[in-house]
């Protein structure tokens, strides 16, 4: 249960009643403890203008390499709003905290590796009145900020993950956007990606580099219309080759097609020839395309450039021939997993009052196939077992909107339409066979036992784990004891290690709030694999099982 949460780099960070922040390390094979942050102590120790008499909002933003970044916000009696970006070392005890004052009107993002941290917001005005991204850089070894901001005057993009993305990969800070267009005399536009990267230890305009524009072609208007509401954008490093790829999914209407088609495109970033980024004094007046074109052969025209796409770089997903079509409002998660080359979505049938959230997986195969999980009806599964599993995946009804994060291993999501002051259930679905979350009943063993004892109550014991407490939004869950306020050393020790919250929770009615869906691998010749784990069969890198957990993890 949480107010706010984020999942990055294998760590689930979530807040409880604005007083406590917990971090579950899913990279640990047996994550039975969480690092917890006493938020009030942190704010008192680090923020000079923090007023404990006023309520605050505390949101985790990003975690990587032992560094946690959070945003605290307070509204004062004179209606002024103040925000603080707090960056600190997540260890017991922490050794340092760095505080910045971002403008509360512009939401910040954060990325970091072990040596440098970047945070930015779209807060700088161009001469035409539009806004551009400004980036700040922190040296995590010296705790000193760079002398000047890095302002991306020519890089457009509004929504991170949809039309722009920022990543740190191999000590380079990358910025990628998909909004740039050129227009020919006939009014047809050609679309290109924009990409620029800087060394993390010297992120200034003079050191920035970008691929030639001819290597960044995206699409041409003649190919059909694009519904950008479905578009997702990410930058990934190929696990086998180490090459960098822009991964974009789009919903398109191709000429001659009866309906729309969802497709994933992979665009490799080539490093053979690179152009220097225009200096900031020029970029205020010079469009990016002219600055780049001047560095290339005069005979190349961006308006006419079209490429033949390789079938290996395209994954065709949903199309007009699908038996079931989902609207955008029925797709709460739209993602593409590059480790297994599969669309992984979380869907809901809006016209079915009994519908529950389901994972919808469409891998890249010779013959298109779609798998749903959990199944609606399975003859081999007793109704009570399936109902309990569905109540974990869909903790509230109806579902209107969710917030979510996903990587190759784990999907974390939570409904966003909770009443004011009410904690949100956070659901974690893991496809990784390594972590073991103690205390959850094995779903396969439970249904097999129920098949042999159909009249018996399903086994839901926690196998010796601590007794659970009901899920409730008005109670203090493992509230840490606060050290004396008069002791500055005690106040500074705001990080403690405590038992993981998922181990001490229950549904209140005896039902399990999570399941272990692991199963022994069974050859097809000896009877196939259990239907409850059919999702993992499609995703070869997801190994042997899936775990679904309700609550904090």
List per-residue pLDDT tens for the chain, 553 residues long: 889 999 999 999 999 999 999 999 999 988 999 999 999 999 999 998 898 888 999 999 999 999 999 999 998 888 889 999 999 999 998 999 999 999 999 999 999 999 999 999 999 999 888 999 999 999 999 999 999 999 999 898 999 999 999 999 999 999 999 999 998 878 889 999 999 999 999 999 999 999 999 999 999 999 999 999 999 999 999 989 999 999 999 999 988 777 899 999 999 998 654 455 554 444 433 444 434 444 454 578 888 888 889 888 999 998 888 878 899 999 999 999 999 899 999 999 888 877 889 999 999 875 668 889 887 655 445 567 788 888 889 888 888 889 999 999 999 999 987 777 788 999 999 988 788 888 887 777 777 666 655 443 332 222 223 333 333 333 333 333 333 333 344 446 899 999 999 887 776 666 667 888 876 655 444 333 333 333 444 343 333 334 444 444 4
| Residue 378, pLDDT score | 52
366-372 contacts at long range (C-beta below 8 A, 24 or more positions apart): 368/316, 369/538, 370/322, 371/534, 371/535, 371/537, 371/538
Question: From CA 222, how far away is CA 224, in angstroms rounded?
Answer: 5
Q: What is the C-alpha to C-alpha distance for residues 100 and 108, in angstroms, rounded to an integer?
A: 11
Residue with tokens 């086994």, as numbered in its chain: 459
85 and 132 Cβ atoms separated by less than 8 Å: no
pLDDT at 305: 87
Q: Distance from CA of residue 92 to its chain's centroid?
A: 27
What is the per-residue pLDDT for 193?
A: 97
Q: Positive or negative CA dihedral for 317, 322, 324, 325?
A: positive
* Strands, E assignment, 184-325: 189-199, 209-210, 217-220, 225-237, 244-253, 261-268, 275-276, 314-316
| pLDDT number for residue 470 | 35
Residue 529 burial (10 A CB sphere; 0-12, 13-18, 19+) = middle
pTM, 2 dp: 0.84
pLDDT of residue 8: 98
d(CA 102, CA 108): 7
CA 134 to chain centre: 22
Query: Quick one: pLDDT at residue 79?
Result: 83
Domain range annotation of the chain = 152-321
Q: How do strand 261-268 and strand 314-316 relate by DSSP bridges? A: antiparallel
- Degrees (nearest 5) of the Cα angle 458, 459, 460? 110
Residue 228 and residue 255: Cα distance in Å, rounded? Answer: 17
DSSP element (H, E) containing 415: strand 410-415
The pLDDT value given to residue 438 = 82
Closest CA to 153 of 172, 125, 191, 195: 125
Q: Tell me the three state secondary structure of residue 312.
A: helix
Q: Tell me, rounded to whole angstroms, the distance of Cα 518 from its chain centroid.
A: 24
Q: Which residue has the tokens 């780099």?
A: 9
3 state SS of 209:
strand
Q: Say what the pLDDT of residue 161 is.
A: 97
Nearest to 514 by CA among 460, 470, 464: 460
What is the structure's pLDDT at 515?
81
Nearest to 277 by CA among 174, 368, 429: 174
Task: List Cα–Cα distances, 98 to 136, 147, 170, 338, 515, in angstroms.
Answer: 13, 16, 24, 35, 40
């Amino acid at each position: 249960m949480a107010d706010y949460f984020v999942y990055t780099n294998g760590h689930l960070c979530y807040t409880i009643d604005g007083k406590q922040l917990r971090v579950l390390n899913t990279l640990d094979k047996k994550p039975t403890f969480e690092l917890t942050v006493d938020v009030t102590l942190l704010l008192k120790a680090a923020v000079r203008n923090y007023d404990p008499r006023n309520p605050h909002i505390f949101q985790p933003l990003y975690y990587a390499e032992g560094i946690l970044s959070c945003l605290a916000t307070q509204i004062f009696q004179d209606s002024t709003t103040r925000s603080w970006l707090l960056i600190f070392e997540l260890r017991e005890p922490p050794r340092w905290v760095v505080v910045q004052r971002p403008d509360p009107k512009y939401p910040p993002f954060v990325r970091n590796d072990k040596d440098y941290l970047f945070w930015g917001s779209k807060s700088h005005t161009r001469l035409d009145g539009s806004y551009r991204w400004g980036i700040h850089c922190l040296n995590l070894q010296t705790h000193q900020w760079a002398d000047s901001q890095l302002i991306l005057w020519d890089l457009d993009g509004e929504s991170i993950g949809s039309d722009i993305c920022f990543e740190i990969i191999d000590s380079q800070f990358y910025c990628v956007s998909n909004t740039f267009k050129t227009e020919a005399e006939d009014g047809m536009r050609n679309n290109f990606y924009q990409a620029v990267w800087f060394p993390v230890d010297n992120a200034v305009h003079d050191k920035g580099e970008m691929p030639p524009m001819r290597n960044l072609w995206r699409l041409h208007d003649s190919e059909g219309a694009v519904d950008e509401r479905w578009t997702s954008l990410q930058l990934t490093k190929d696990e086998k080759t180490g090459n960098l790829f822009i991964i974009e999914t789009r919903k398109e209407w191709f000429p001659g097609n009866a309906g729309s088609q969802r497709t994933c495109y992979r665009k490799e970033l080539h490093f053979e020839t690179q152009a220097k980024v225009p200096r900031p004094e020029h970029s205020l007046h010079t469009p990016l395309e002219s600055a780049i074109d001047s560095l290339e052969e005069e005979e190349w025209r961006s308006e006419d450039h079209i490429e033949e796409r390789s079938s290996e770089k395209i994954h065709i997903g949903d199309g007009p021939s699908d038996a079931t079509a989902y609207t955008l409002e029925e797709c709460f998660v739209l993602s593409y997993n590059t480790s297994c080359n599969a669309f992984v979505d979380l869907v809901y049938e809006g016209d079915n009052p009994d519908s529950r959230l389901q994972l919808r997986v469409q891998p890249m195969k010779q013959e298109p196939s779609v798998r749903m999980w959990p199944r609606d009806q399975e003859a081999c599964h007793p109704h009570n077992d399936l109902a309990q599993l569905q109540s974990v995946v869909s903790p509230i009804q109806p579902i209107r909107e969710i917030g979510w994060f996903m990587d190759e291993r784990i999907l974390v999501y939570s409904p966003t339409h909770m009443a004011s002051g009410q904690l949100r259930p956070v659901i974690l679905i893991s496809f990784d066979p390594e972590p073991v979350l103690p205390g959850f009943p094995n779903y396969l063993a439970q249904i097999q036992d129920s098949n042999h004892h159909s009249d018996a109550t399903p086994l839901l014991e926690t196998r010796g784990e601590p007794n659970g407490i009901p899920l409730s939004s008005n109670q203090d869950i493992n509230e840490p004891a606060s050290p004396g306020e008069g002791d500055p050393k005690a106040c500074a020790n705001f990080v403690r290690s405590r038992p993981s919250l998922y181990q001490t929770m229950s549904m209140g009615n005896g039902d399990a709030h999570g399941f272990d869906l692991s199963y022994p691998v069974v050859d097809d010749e000896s009877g196939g694999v259990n239907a409850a784990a059919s999702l993992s069969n499609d995703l070869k890198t997801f190994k042997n099982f899936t775990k679904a957990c309700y609550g904090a993890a």
